[in-house]
């Protein structure tokens, strides 16, 4: 087959060559190369008028104005992130120690940890961290004013890079978890509900179903309480999140999903159920007041005006627009008339609510919206996220205005408003200037001047004090009112942000728990609130390997993370399942390190901070004595009996030395030994490490010596060097010598940096000398995977422990699939700290769980698959690019599609999560990929009938042309690129090389599809161009042709 495929002339398959001279072989489609980059010979030149005209054709930052957004309630937040944006933003994060962002978050979310999870493709782990501290984490991710909270404390704000988009990352992670359809479950550490103490059946009532009540009820349910009731007077749950925050900022599905997570834990929700009053409270019943501020404050200028006149309060307008725009809040039973604000709208106020009214007014048909407020623009209370959106939608701002009176026509409709001018005094106070009056014509007025408790305050006064601000008085630490057992939080106590209300619910939950359980004052000061839990967290990731039980597959490598015994102890405390000590030797072979010796590699280009793709070190083995390590191993096994401790040892090619050191390591209680036969620098010059590990007969000798003194119940591994032609030769020698397995691989010998002045880095001493060091990090993972899989295929059933480039749970799973059930880690920890293991644990648990769910099995790196666009010859017309006139055309088409009376689907009940099947163990997955790895000759037999071609998703394409450039200059010139729309089109000459997929900056924008009659109707069979048919002679030289592309 190989012979036929490469050699045999098959005229029926290959195109006929028509070249007559060698110059004909240089023919290219010059017209298609018009846009291909080229070196400029002269300065660019064009008139300014032409530049201005061209700019309009390519402009992307064309914001859809508010007056074009009628009925368009889709998300338009600038913080929203897709996959590419989220990964790049997450990898920018420094994951700082004592992170200021977390200190600035009212709910104290572990922000750096969840961002680290996103950077490592672990959206489940990120969502678990977020929801553990904030049960309404998705809502907060969508609407939190992070510029004034967590992002305001970001250390990167002090650099030119700017603060991290934390809210966008939070929304991204929790939204992806929402798509996983995984339900919340009860904490497995709790006794069964019927076996809980009777105090946990105490009735608890939460008044209102907004964020404060949802969080309070959720945390109480996590603590084990089983008689929790949330009462809501409206016919839908969610409080202001449902009724007042617009759909384009906060999707109602997100709110209802958070409520469903609460209900998963057994919380009872009663809608259309006003609270009957505190006089009906049962004995010992705990009550949480989370009713918000339901009544608007109205200026005297608007007394007597109603919606019939064109006057709305925010409490009239926002619920009305919500009920007619949010799926699930059915407008057919709405108590509000749909607002149709055709004309000019004045919004009064400068808080977040006023800006919600502004955006909603545009979507209800307003042609012009003016925001009027008493103070200056610098004194606006609204967050920047809201004001920027309003500016982009062309809302107008009018500061220093206070309402004086409203004028109406004979039909009672508003026609204008008179406003007094406000002045700021030297002491910072504001006063009205009666001499300055401004008249503004308008058709509608929306007042957003704040809210109050209203009539319900009389009921509250029977159990709590109301302060001068009209808010409920509570103890700051527990949120308990003056009446024992009655708590309050959210808007009604002055917490105006959703995230603050969420934290109030969290705080009150602990206060209620302490009250019911009668905890001591000391216990009260140490809150222990359970984390978010799902069935994913119950997945077992322990590993049975060489007769040992590993708690999980993640271990500290014999490298910098295991420099001291204290470091290994801390690693175990954070969750690492095993550790390999830093390599130690007999005292006579002591070493002393030089410095500098550990530097970041050159493979990450201009990457600063974490997520370095490689490191280089010229560090030697441990400077500490064998007695230090042996004493410490004994102590570690006493303190952590369920963790695996592996002693890494090194000697020269000396039988007595190996036997002596091996006995010492065994007698101190090591679970296993690792024979370091691969240190790539320094030690080889002493006849140790690499000097032994590159020669099969030496490896066999050493393994034989250790086997003689090592009991059968103490496995030992020979650590392989990658600096060898075929690692399997060395692995076979280790097996023949009696080793129980091998570790693959040690670092790759290399030279990382030579500076412009010709000196290397790291450079030692004044002479700036260096040597070849060991390269590590994810840059060497391809080498490690090759060697692990090679051993797995060539030496079946021979245990392999992997090391070399693991950076997250996904990469560890790759090693498992290639045949190594446990993996040692160093560079990833060097990039961050020991706590990354919790990210890896939750990530691997999710991977195993996903394999038991058909709907999740095809997810890649915890992201659902992007539907592959079907091949359509005219698809580029259907999906025009997003710039210039094309973007304007898209906007117009979208407006037409939305229509004036767009029918919105009613909210459907949440889809029942599919029941997970049998969840595989780590051991079940070992070596799964080996059957897919073979020789190139095997692939050749598949080639003629298994070709693929590239397909561009024009709706995802950002028109950068990276595919076009790489195909032209390093590929097969198979992509046409439109000079007008910058849309790429894969031609029939595509050979399926996949270069375009590799360089495309948009995930899944280009995919490989089978080459067949559907994807290539005119050329379904791959007919490679041979240039000159086989068997023909060389062509004569023709006339020289020099093509100057600049002439085009």
Catalytic residue numbers read 679
DSSP letter assigned to residue 883: S
3-class DSSP assignment, residue 81: coil
Q: Residue 686 contacts by C-beta under 8 Å, 6 or more apart in sequence? A: 589, 652
**Strands 578-580 vs 644-649: parallel, antiparallel or unpaired:** parallel
* Contact by Cβ (8 Å): 851, 845: no
Residue 343, φ and ψ in degrees, nearest 5: 135, -150
Identify the CA nearest to 576 among candidates 358, 828, 795.
828
* Contact by Cβ (8 Å): 448, 371: no
Number of H helices, E strands in the chain: 33, 35
Residue 930, CB-side half-sphere exposure with 13 Å CA sphere: 20
Identify the CA nearest to 241 among candidates 211, 271, 272, 212.
211
* Contact by Cβ (8 Å): 122, 860: no
Tell me the CA distances in angstroms from 262 to 216, 292, 461, one per residue in order: 10, 19, 30
The torsion region of residue 518 among left (phi > 0), alpha (psi -120 to 50) and beta comes to left
Which residue shows structure tokens 């999560």?
A: 913
Residue 285, φ and ψ in degrees, nearest 5: -65, 135
**How many residues comprise the chain?**
1048
3-class DSSP assignment, residue 550: strand
Which residue shows structure tokens 């992170």?
A: 99
DSSP letter assigned to residue 244: T
Would you call the peptide bond into 131 cis, given omega within 30 degrees of 0 as the criterion?
A: no
Residue 357, CB-side half-sphere exposure with 13 Å CA sphere: 29
Tell me the CA distances in angstroms from 755 to 24, 759, 768, 769, one per residue in order: 45, 5, 11, 13
Torsional sign, CA 95, 100, 101, 102: positive
Find the distance separating the first CA and the last CA of the chain, reported in whole Å. 46
CA distance 376 to 379: 5
**At 272, which helix (H) or strand (E)?**
none
* Contact by Cβ (8 Å): 628, 561: no
CA distance 161 to 655: 57
Q: Residue 914 contacts by C-beta under 8 Å, 6 or more apart in sequence? A: 181, 853, 854, 855
Strand partners, 230: 206, 269
CA distance 824 to 576: 10
Identify the CA nearest to 788 among candidates 897, 928, 625.
928
Which residue shows structure tokens 């003629």?
A: 944
CA distance 226 to 230: 13
Which residue shows structure tokens 């030089």?
A: 594
3-class DSSP assignment, residue 866: coil
3-class DSSP assignment, residue 923: helix
Identify the CA nearest to 393 among candidates 357, 369, 365, 364.
369
Q: DSSP per residue over 671-704, as a string?
A: SEEEEE----SSGGGGT-THHHHT-HHHHHHHHH
Q: Which two tokens stand for residue 95?
A: 């994951």
């Amino acid at each position: 087959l190989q012979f036929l495929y490469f050699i045999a002339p098959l005229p029926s398959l290959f195109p006929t060559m028509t070249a007559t001279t060698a110059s004909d072989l240089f023919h290219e489609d010059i017209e298609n190369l018009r846009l291909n980059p080229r070196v400029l010979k002269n300065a660019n030149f064009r008139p300014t008028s032409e530049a201005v005209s061209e700019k309009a054709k390519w402009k992307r930052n064309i914001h859809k104005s508010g007056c074009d957004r009628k009925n368009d309630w889709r998300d338009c937040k600038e913080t929203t992130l897709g996959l590419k944006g989220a990964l790049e933003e997450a990898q920018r994060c420094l994951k700082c120690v004592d992170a200021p962002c977390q200190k600035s978050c009212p709910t104290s979310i572990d922000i750096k940890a969840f961002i680290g999870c996103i950077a490592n493709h672990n959206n489940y782990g990120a969502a678990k961290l977020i929801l553990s501290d904030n049960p309404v984490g998705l809502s907060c991710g969508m609407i939190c004013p992070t510029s004034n909270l967590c992002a305001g404390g970001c250390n990167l704000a002090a650099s030119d890079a700017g603060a991290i988009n934390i809210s966008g990352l939070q929304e991204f992670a929790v939204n992806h978890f929402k798509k996983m359809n995984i339900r919340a479950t009860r904490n497995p550490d709790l006794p069964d509900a019927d076996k809980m103490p009777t105090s946990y059946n105490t009735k608890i009532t939460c008044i209102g179903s907004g964020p404060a009540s949802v969080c309070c009820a959720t945390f109480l349910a996590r603590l084990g309480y089983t008689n929790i009731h949330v009462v809501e007077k409206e016919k839908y749950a969610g409080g202001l999140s449902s009724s007042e925050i617009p759909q384009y900022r906060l999707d109602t599905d997100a709110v209802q999903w958070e409520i469903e997570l609460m209900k998963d834990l057994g919380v009872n929700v009663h809608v259309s159920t006003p609270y009957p009053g505190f006089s009906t409270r049962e004995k010992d019943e705990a009550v949480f007041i989370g009713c918000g501020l339901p009544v608007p404050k109205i200026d005297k200028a608007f007394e007597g005006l109603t919606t019939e006149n064109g006057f709305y309060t925010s409490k009239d307008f926002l619920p009305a627009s919500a009920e007619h725009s949010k799926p699930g809040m059915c407008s057919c039973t709405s108590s509000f008339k749909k607002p149709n604000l055709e004309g000019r709208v004045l919004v009064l106020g400068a808080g977040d609510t006023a800006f919600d009214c502004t955006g909603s007014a545009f979507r209800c048909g307003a042609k012009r919206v003016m925001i009027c407020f008493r103070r200056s623009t610098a004194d606006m209370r609204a967050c920047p996220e809201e004001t920027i959106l309003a500016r982009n939608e062309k809302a107008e701002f009018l500061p220093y205005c206070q309402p004086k009176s409203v004028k109406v026509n004979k039909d009672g409709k508003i026609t204008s408003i008179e406003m007094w001018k406000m002045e700021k005094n030297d002491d910072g106070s504001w006063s009205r200037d009666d001499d300055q009056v401004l008249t503004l014509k308008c058709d509608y007025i929306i007042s957003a001047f704040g809210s109050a408790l209203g009539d319900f305050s009389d009921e509250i006064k029977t159990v709590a004090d109301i302060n001068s601000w009209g808010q409920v008085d509570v103890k700051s630490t527990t949120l308990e009112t003056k009446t024992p057992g009655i708590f309050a939080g959210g808007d009604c106590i002055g917490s105006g942000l959703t995230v603050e209300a969420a934290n109030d619910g969290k705080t009150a939950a602990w206060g209620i728990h302490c009250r019911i359980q009668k905890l001591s004052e000391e216990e009260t000061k140490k809150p222990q609130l359970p984390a978010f839990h799902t069935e994913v967290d119950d997945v077992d990731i322990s590993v049975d390997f060489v007769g040992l039980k590993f708690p999980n597959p993640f271990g500290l490598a014999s490298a910098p993370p295991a420099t001291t015994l204290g470091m290994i102890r801390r690693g175990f405390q954070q969750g690492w399942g095993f550790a390999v000590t830093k390599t130690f030797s007999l005292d006579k072979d002591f070493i002393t390190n030089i410095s500098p010796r550990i530097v970041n590699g050159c493979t990450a280009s201009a990457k600063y901070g974490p997520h370095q793709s490689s490191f280089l070190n010229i560090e030697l083995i441990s400077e500490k004595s064998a007695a230090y390590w042996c004493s410490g191993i004994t102590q570690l096994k006493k303190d952590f009996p369920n963790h695996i401790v592996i002693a890494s040892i090194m000697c020269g090619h000396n039988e007595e030395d190996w036997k002596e050191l091996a006995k010492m390591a065994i007698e101190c209680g090591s679970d296993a030994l690792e024979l370091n036969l691969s240190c790539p620098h320094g030690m080889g010059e002493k006849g140790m490490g690499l000097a032994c590990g590159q020669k099969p007969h030496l490896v066999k000798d050493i393994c034989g010596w250790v086997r003689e003194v090592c009991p059968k119940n103490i496995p030992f591994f020979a650590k392989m060097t990658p600096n060898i032609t075929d690692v399997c030769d060395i692995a076979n020698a280790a097996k023949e010598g009696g080793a129980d397995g091998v570790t693959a691989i040690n670092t790759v010998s290399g030279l990382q940096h030579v500076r412009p002045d010709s000196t290397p880095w790291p450079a030692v001493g004044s002479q700036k000398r260096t040597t070849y060091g060991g390269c590590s990090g994810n840059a060497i993972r391809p080498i490690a995977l090759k060697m692990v899989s090679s051993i797995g295929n060539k030496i079946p059933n021979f245990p392999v422990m992997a090391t070399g480039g693991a950076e997250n749970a996904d990469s560890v799973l790759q090693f498992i699939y290639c045949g190594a059930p446990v993996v040692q880690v160093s560079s990833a920890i060097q990039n961050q700290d020991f706590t990354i293991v919790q990210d890896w644990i939750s990530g691997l648990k999710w991977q195993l769980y996903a394999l038991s769910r058909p709907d999740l099995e095809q997810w890649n790196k915890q992201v659902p698959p992007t539907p592959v666009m079907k091949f359509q010859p005219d698809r580029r017309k259907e999906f025009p690019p997003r710039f210039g006139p094309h973007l304007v055309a898209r906007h117009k088409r979208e407006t037409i599609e939305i229509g004036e009376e767009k029918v919105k689907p009613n909210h459907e009940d949440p889809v029942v999560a599919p029941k997970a099947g049998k969840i595989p163990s780590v051991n079940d997955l070992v070596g799964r990929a080996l059957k897919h790895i073979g020789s190139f000759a095997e692939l050749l037999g598949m080639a003629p009938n298994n070709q693929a071609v590239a397909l561009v998703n024009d709706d995802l394409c950002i028109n950068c042309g990276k595919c076009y450039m790489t195909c032209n200059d390093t590929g097969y010139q198979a992509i046409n690129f439109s000079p007008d729309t910058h849309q790429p089109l894969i031609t029939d000459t595509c050979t399926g090389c996949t270069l375009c997929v590799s360089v495309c900056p948009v995930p899944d924008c280009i995919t490989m599809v089978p080459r067949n009659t559907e994807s290539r109707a005119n050329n379904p069979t791959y007919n490679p161009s041979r240039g000159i048919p086989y068997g023909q002679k060389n062509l004569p030289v023709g006339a020289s042709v020099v093509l100057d592309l600049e002439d085009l």
